[in-house]
Copies of this chain bind each other. A is one copy, B any other.
């Protein structure tokens, strides 16, 4: 599977006349090699793809005895790669640059692509300075656009992440009662997942009453409102399963909601469902956003996009937004999440994670019910 991903990337590199490509981004390294470092931002792992080989660079904490290749073992196809896969140890004496200097000579690399949307300016300048014989070529969104189309391996993981989120929500909703606070509900979701050795895709947004009218309310730093009779509760969260995310939003009503809120909820639900059906008639993501938006904006504000890709990260391509240039394609997985926000009073959003299958068939991967959930 990893080799297929690398081969796919190599075709793009060939078109761009690049005989090497240095991957710096944590998620892109993980995607192409299965190698995952402890931190996302401390540059603990790098990957170099050349025409024939690929090299993983890391330090002795990773490339040593018990942990050696531990993460790569996850993928059984890895065995066949041993002849083209090389591990290079980064030490105090021999850093990334020295390794690269040797490899560009050995492999006669003239044009080395880098991730311009990930590489820091100073890192780029250092590469340019230390690899004088090589043209360093900035690229943009090369791998993240490749990641837009999910392979079977990824689809099954995201499907499972969605099932986990459904089950988590089912269990946690049962525990919500008058007096439950936003942070308590977020905490229950986090611990439901973590005690089963899953993870959060992102910190849950739990927003009660007027807090729900803030489209991306921050539960962690917010005022921790409590559930009361008549409350509107917005729950937006995702599970992570073997590094892959899901994303779902549901509304919970405590006691009978007033008719205005209920009517708008039904309108919102109808807009969401129609938008999902519209996949079969549409290939332009921007139009999908407009299609959804025009059903809603007469009444209340809707200040965010209609959806986003989901994968190793919770925000990927395609973007379903007013400025998107993406198109609908088979094996994309993305959210559809229209919302209506009545400033200072309440907000509602309904979100599913959806797979585009062949012939524009769709599979809504998050299956938790969307009829008004009144507790």
Contacts and interface: CB of A to CB of B under 8 A. Distances in A.
Interface stretch (A36-44, A143-151, A267-275): A36-44
Interface residues of A, number: 54
Contact of A61 (B60, B125, B214): B214
A234 to B, nearest CB: 14
A266 to B, nearest CB: 26
A41 B217 CA distance: 18
A351 B240 CA distance: 32
Interface in A81-130: 92, 114, 116-125
Nearest to A210: B66
Interface in A34-73: 36, 38-42, 60-61, 64-67, 70-71
A303 B89 CA distance: 13
* Copies per assembly: 2
A65 B187 contact: no
Contacts of A36: 221
B64 A214 contact: yes
Interface string A216-231: 1110011000000000
A197 B183 contact: yes
Given A116-B121, A221-B70, A187 B194 contact: yes
A291 interface: no
A129 B304 CA distance: 28
Given A116-B120, A121-B120, A214-B65, A195 B187 contact: yes
Contacts of A203: 38
Contact of A122 (B61, B67, B92, B138): B138
Contacts of A116: 120-122, 125
Contact of A118 (B60, B120, B210, B304): B120
A28 B187 CA distance: 28
Contacts of A217: 66-67
**Leading 5 A-B pairs by shortest Cβ distance:** A116-B122, A116-B121, A61-B216, A121-B124, A117-B122
